[in-house]
Amino acid sequence: MESLSAVVLAAGEGRRLRPLTRSRPKPMLPAATTPVLERVLDELIDAGVTDITVVVGYQRERVQSHFGPTYRNVPLTYVHQRSQLGTGDALLSIRGVVDGSMLVINGDQIVDRRIIADVVSAHERSDSVATLGLLQRSEVSTYGGVLVDRATDEETPTAPVVELVERPRDDREYRLNAGVYGLEPEIFEAISETTPRTGEHSLIDAISYLLETGSDGVPPVRGIESGGLWVDATYPWDVLEVAIELLDRGRGDRTTNGRERRTISPSSSIHGTAIVRGPVVVDDNCEIGPGAIVGPYACLGENVTVESGAVVERSVLDTDTRVRTNATVLECVTGQAVEIGAGTTIPGGPGDVRVGDRIFEEAALGALLADRVRDDGGVTYTPGSIVGPNATVRAGTTVRGSVAEGTEVRS
């Protein structure tokens, strides 16, 4: 395992997750209560990787200040991608920093250590330039599809890759691209030879270039089919789905120093008359008041307060959020330092959600409240509401649709 250095691509913003990513990159959003990138690093280290380079860009200070120079006693090298010009450009930024074979992994998707180990093992035994981690999934149309040549020696765990298709729409037998790659240094030249699309260099385009220009003999790209957990948040409501998936798999807990695992922190205070219905995650220094009901599928980040009589269910509440007395919070995602006022109602989804210029109908989202939103109480949020950072919602208001950053909403 030590022969492959790991490169984690964590420079992107995650625009489709706005406004959650207005002040931090997608890899730092919570998966349950743990930043996605922290879970990625945990899986790499638990798979035996000890040499990690992290490519940072958008809001890079949030990444570097959180992890510092080492994580779980493994040194971290940071490389700054100054402009976010695609995954290929991100990889070019580490040219000269990482020598020889490398393991490349997306820092904004949660990938099981089994997939990592399978790719490393397969690539170390292969003469190909690239080895891709693949998964069997019934639905790949929103991600990357990979076609492989199935007419290969059954004793070989890998198969030659025939084609890569982003967001495939036909009915061919695709495998899901898990975003885990074993790569040789020839990939840098392939990236340089590809023509940028919409101003960005794509790693997928570079791998497709290898397929197009490969000579007879050794397949330039091979895939290894694996299994285990793989989850990704593309849109705001996916933050809820990721949390539910982790909780259902018993993976929602926090890790302390890579050893201690827990779902309710011993430093949190839960009143004797409160009800906590699992599965839940309650992080450090949370407070759950008298008669409050938390769960199932509730994730409370560090220093979250749920006051007396409040109900929180199927929600992800980020750090320093406060739910005031008798509020009802269902299928809600908050940013940091949000205040949900007394008697406020978030009744849950489904609802129609606007993301950019698209409307997604019947999304499972009660409301998204971005960083430092404050409501004064008695507010009702219609399903699918999205409130931007630093907005204030005055008492008794009904919120519908999208509210811009810094807006004051009155009834």
Is pLDDT at 297 greater than 50 in this prediction?
yes
For residue 217, is pLDDT > 50? yes
CA 6 from chain center: how many Å? 18
pLDDT beyond 90 at 406: yes
CA distances from 140 to 178, 355, 371 (A): 11, 21, 32
Highest mean pLDDT pick, 1-5, 176-180, 209-213, 287-291: 287-291
pLDDT of residue 329: 98
Which of 34, 25, 95 has its CA nearest to residue 60? 25
Q: What pLDDT is recorded for position 281?
A: 94
Across the chain, mean pLDDT equals 90
pLDDT in tens, 219-268: 889 999 998 889 888 889 999 999 999 998 887 665 554 444 568 999 99
| H-type alpha helices, 47-185 | 60-67, 87-92, 113-124
What pLDDT, in 10s, does the model give residues 357-401? 888 888 899 999 999 999 999 999 999 999 999 999 999 999 999
User: Which of 2.160.10.10, 3.40.50.10490, 2.60.40.10, 1.20.140.10 is the CATH number of 238-409?
Assistant: 2.160.10.10
CA distances to 75, 139, 232, 355 from 144, in Å: 31, 10, 12, 21
Could you give the residue range(s) of every CATH 3.90.550.10 domain in the chain?
5-232
Per-residue pLDDT averaged across 151-171, rounded?
A: 77
What is the C-alpha to C-alpha distance for residues 404 and 389, in angstroms, rounded to an integer?
Answer: 8
Handedness of CA 158, 162, 165, 169 (dihedral sign): negative
The CA distance from 236 to 332, in Å, is 10
**pTM (2 d.p.):** 0.90
Return the CA Rg of the chain: 22
Q: Which residue intervals of the chain bear CATH 2.160.10.10?
A: 238-409
Q: Please, are residues 89 and 200 in contact by the beta-carbon 8 Å criterion?
A: yes
Q: In the CATH hierarchy, which top-level class contains the domain 5-232?
A: alpha beta
Amino acid at 328: T
pLDDT at 335: 96
**pLDDT at position 411, please?**
81
> 102-112, pLDDT tens digit by residue?
999 999 999 99
